[in-house]
Structure 1
Amino acid sequence: MRVLKSKQIKLSLFYFISIGFILLNLWFVVKKDMLYLNALPLVAALLLAAVYSFDKIIYLIVFFSPLSLPLSELSSGFGFDMYLPTEPLIFGLLIIFFLKILQERKFDRRILLHPVSLVIYLNLFWILITSITSTMPLVSFKFLLMRIWFLAVLYFLTAKLFSQGKNMEKYVWLYVIPFMMVIFYATFRHLVYGLWDKQASHFVVMPFFNDHTSYGASLAFYLPFLLMFVFDKSQSKRWRTFATFAFFVVLMGFVLSYSRAAWLSLLAAIGVWGILLLKIRFKTIFITVVTVGTLFFAFQQQILMKLEQNSQESSAHLGTHISSMSNISTDASNLERINRWSCAIRMFQDKPVFGFGPGTYMFQYAPYQLTKERTIISTNAADGGNAHSEYLGPLSESGVLGLLTFLLIIGVVLYTAINTYTRTTDPRLKKIVLVALLGLITYYVHGFLNNFLDTDKLSVPFWGFTAMIVAIDIISRENPIRKSSINLTNAD
């Protein structure tokens, strides 16, 4: 009897709140012409999902990342910008994550104390120090906050999501499927100007991507995974057919991105795959790298003179476009990168220890441009992009330790991935480690030419794939002979 009465009270309360909300919402719409209250149920649902099932929010973030739009595209007049709806979701989940940690006083210690996590803490600590010493503290602390919320959600919580060896394929597909919509959208717009119109590739991806380089970098991330899905004989023929379709759609977008950095990064990933396949010893690789580096520095004058003889401009013709990668005499894109890199180095020379502060390069580099290095696309404004390098950017903004701690993250991830790949006996997890590593390799190489880790679109795969490697490393250490029977189509 008490149970029935309790249910009646709850039902009455539900109807009372619902009717009250409808009447209040009608009053706001009719009297105040305000529609914002309509979003309240959605906000409440998201809060409940975040508290009781954070994985659903992560899935939403991943799904909307390729579709997210900057606030400036939707409404003007704000003094800040963010990607919607992903960044508010990430920030909200970050707050709830910290509150749950404070309440429960626990999180998976295997993830928190993993070597990759430890070097991430070191990098964050140095970003904090250089934010305090920054020439623009407000900008730097905003950069620090963004890095923290990306890491908390896309690395720590995502690694927890993968900790049972599940959800990894789902994470990939939740990005790829909406990404295919963006590819079709960009390709359709490209058709209007002509598929081989290289200049059109710069803007057909807008507003979903700022330019074709970030678009190409995102596409390169997922090609290794999709190729794995195509040849995964454990899946049904229908599923592999869909994976083949998705692979060729992404490959089409990749080619039409006309991103030379993305093309080069994929070649590097193929080279790493060949090294792992042939089981070439680290000693041999090290000697080769040292030898090539020594030869470059010994003959750098001759090499630069040869490169300066290349006057091939970037073009719609694929062969010509590829050959223009080494044109440092007339290609405006290449020359502007050199200009930005030179500025970053000169900024580092001025402040070698603490740098100018995280996130400040774009506001501080203008005085460091030399007239002879400026190009037709050079600018003094803060809207001209960043250092065009994930390595020289931290060097100028956070000094030598800013670069070294970021390189340490990459080094530890590479070491962990290769060791995990060698040690893991589970066929499925072994393949996932390999393709996650190859996806990251594409960005490690791309990072020499561009920097996009301050965006959700690249942070989702970058930190997500890193979380996969960490999760599988933990699993393989604890269950060295574990055999997985998780099916791709019904992994949860």
Structure 2
Amino acid sequence: MLSCWAAIFWKEPIWLITPFAIILAKPLAQWITRNTEQLYWLYLIALPLSTEFNFTPGLGLDLPGEPILIGLTLLILASMIYQPNQYRSLLNSAIGKWIALYAAWMLISLCYADNTWLATKFMLAKIWYILPLVFLTAWIHTQKPNFKKLSILLCIPMLLVVMQALIRHGMYGFEFVAIKKAMAPFFRNHVNYSAMLVCLLPAGWLLYYFSENPNRKRGIKAALLIGLTGLFFAYSRGAWLALFVGLIAYLGIRKNRIGILILTGMLTACIGLTLLIHNNRFLAFAPEHDETIFHENFSAHLSATVGLKDISNAERFHRWVAGFRMISEKPITGFGANSFYPAYQPYTIAPFKTWVSNNPEHSTIHNYYLLLAVEQGIPALIIFGGFLIYLILQAQKMYHRFQQNYYRMIALGTGIILCMIASLNVSSDLIETDKIGGLFWLCTGVILALQQLLKREATTIAL
């Protein structure tokens, strides 16, 4: 009766499940405790299928993914307390130290945050992503490597999402404006959808590479073609660019040149940024307010992009300018995690204002590297950037050092995905989403597992 009253009062039907949740709580807790690994595999299935749900205006979770992660985090913390030896080598690894540094600076930034509650929620979310997706992933695959199963459990649900999206999008004639309707409720927008899709293509390619059964190989090839078709009709320029970056990363890792490519990219970005800032040259790129509109036709959308009249990129410039001005005010500690939206409007400038500058979606800066510097200071950007480069270089190193081809190819595929994620976050802030954020920390866990397996292989060869 109470649950029915709550559902009516708050107009939320989810309250109706309360009695069943209470009844099932104890047996479910017992099952979870005995089946931590199975719960981990369940999360992988849920990752492409999770949907955002707001319990209150200030509290939202991605269901069912985040509740599973919270449960796994509690189990890992208990395991670390009662059986610390299981995780000691992982926590003492270079990746463990990078994450400790990342968390330490996050805590320092929290102390100086404009809104401590928002920053605290951010840090809690980081904990329940990092602990299970990095350390549990590494522990599971160090004990009993099963990277094929990991790829399968991610790719099959994503394939189902792509197939239903293509069918529903086809009913609208594959119109550019209809793509958002086709992917609901699994993805918020076409950017998140296309980003997840393009990042899972290397996992699908590895499944094809390792498959020896001709029929299975044909099935995987058909699935990859469906994925590429879905990527095309997602109409996301960032994801198309990420696919190109993935191909460059494939060649760079195989030729042992990924470090040179990263350095070239960073130098190019620094030179371009310096030229834009010098004598306020960036003001020359201010859009014409009345000409910068949303285009319902994708060809017109691309033409507007080339002519710098596309509203999405124009609004990005609007927020990036605000972001640089915010960084100049608080370069060390930043404004605090989750604080960009409440704080950025006074730092915008009129020449870059667009029709959507009132930001009804409460979205952020659309560049993860800038977002880190704005919210947690330049040290956070340096720490995360260094960590990301370290992971990519480790993937290359292990590709060339492993004797077993299976592990070499896993390192190659993981390095490609990390390079794609790095590319996508230049024009988006996807590390803070459950899909790409989950995939990033999962790749980190895979790199950590591969490091442990490489040590084991080297010891075996030495013996």
TM-score class, shorter: 0.7 to 0.9
- Aligned partner letter, 1:39: A
Identify the range of structure 1 (236-245 vs 437-446) with the bigger mean alpha-carbon deviation: 236-245
- Of 159, 184, 188 in structure 1, the residue corresponding to residue 138 of structure 2 is 159
Question: How far apart are the structure 1 equivalents of 2:283 and 2:346?
Answer: 28
Identify the range of structure 1 (181-190 vs 389-398) with the bigger mean alpha-carbon deviation: 181-190
- Of 66, 71, 74 in structure 1, the residue corresponding to residue 53 of structure 2 is 71
Q: Are the counterparts in 1 of residues 392 and 418 from structure 2 also a CA contact under 8 Å?
A: no
Question: How far apart are the structure 1 equivalents of 2:216 and 2:27?
Answer: 32
Once the two structures are TM-superposed, the CA of residue 111 in structure 1 deviates from its matched residue by: 1.5
Structure 2: runs of 5 or more not aligned: 1-14
* 1:117 alignment counterpart: 96
Structure 1: runs of 5 or more not aligned: 1-32, 484-492
* 1:198 alignment counterpart: 176
Q: Are the counterparts in 2 of residues 325 and 334 from structure 1 also a CA contact under 8 Å?
A: yes
* 2:234 alignment counterpart: 257
Q: Are the counterparts in 2 of residues 69 and 85 from structure 1 also a CA contact under 8 Å?
A: yes
* 1:268 alignment counterpart: 245
* 2:125 alignment counterpart: 146
From the superposition, tell whether residues 314 and 272 of structure 1 become closer, same or farther in structure 2 (CA, over 3 Å).
farther
From the superposition, tell whether residues 433 and 364 of structure 1 become closer, same or farther in structure 2 (CA, over 3 Å).
same
Count of residue correspondences: 443
Q: For 1:243-322, what aligned pairs fall within 5 Å after superposition? A: 243-280=220-257, 282=259, 285=261, 288-289=264-265, 292=268, 296=272
Larger % of helix: which?
A: 2
Question: How far apart are the structure 2 equivalents of 1:34 and 1:144?
Answer: 31
Once the two structures are TM-superposed, the CA of residue 481 in structure 1 deviates from its matched residue by: 8.3
* 1:187 alignment counterpart: 166
Question: How far apart are the structure 2 equivalents of 1:404 and 1:477?
Answer: 28
Q: Over residues 321-365 of structure 1, what are the superposed CA-to-partner deviations in whole Å (9 max), with x where a residue is unaligned?
A: 65655443x110111111121111111111111111011112211
Question: How far apart are the structure 1 equivalents of 2:274 and 2:30?
Answer: 62
Question: How far apart are the structure 1 equivalents of 2:372 and 2:261?
Answer: 27
- Of 218, 222, 234 in structure 2, the residue corresponding to residue 241 of structure 1 is 218
* 1:446 is the counterpart of 2:420: no
Once the two structures are TM-superposed, the CA of residue 98 in structure 1 deviates from its matched residue by: 1.0
Question: How far apart are the structure 1 equivalents of 2:351 and 2:167?
Answer: 40
Q: Over residues 206-259 of structure 1, what are the superposed CA-to-partner deviations in whole Å (9 max), with x where a residue is unaligned?
A: 221111001111011111121222233x52122212211221222122111111
- Aligned partner letter, 1:350: E
Question: How far apart are the structure 2 equivalents of 1:103 and 1:294?
Answer: 48
Question: How far apart are the structure 2 equivalents of 1:34 and 1:151?
Answer: 32
Query: Aligned-pair RMSD on alpha carbons?
Result: 3.1
Question: How far apart are the structure 2 equivalents of 1:411 and 1:287?
Answer: 10
Identify the range of structure 1 (62-71 vs 305-314) with the bigger mean alpha-carbon deviation: 305-314
Once the two structures are TM-superposed, the CA of residue 453 in structure 1 deviates from its matched residue by: 2.1
2:48 aligned counterpart, secondary structure: coil
Question: How far apart are the structure 1 equivalents of 2:52 and 2:268?
Answer: 43
* 1:229 alignment counterpart: 207
Question: How far apart are the structure 2 equivalents of 1:295 and 1:96?
Answer: 47
* 1:93 is the counterpart of 2:72: yes
* 2:355 alignment counterpart: 376
- Of 34, 38, 54 in structure 1, the residue corresponding to residue 20 of structure 2 is 38
Once the two structures are TM-superposed, the CA of residue 297 in structure 1 deviates from its matched residue by: 6.6
**Identical pairs, percent:** 24
Question: How far apart are the structure 2 equivalents of 1:462 and 1:294?
Answer: 25
Q: For 1:314-393, what aligned pairs fall within 5 Å after superposition? A: 325-328=305-308, 330-380=309-359, 383-393=361-371
From the superposition, tell whether residues 216 and 67 of structure 1 become closer, same or farther in structure 2 (CA, over 3 Å).
same
- Aligned partner letter, 2:363: G
Q: Are the counterparts in 2 of residues 268 and 441 from structure 1 also a CA contact under 8 Å?
A: yes
Question: How far apart are the structure 2 equivalents of 1:377 and 1:49?
Answer: 48
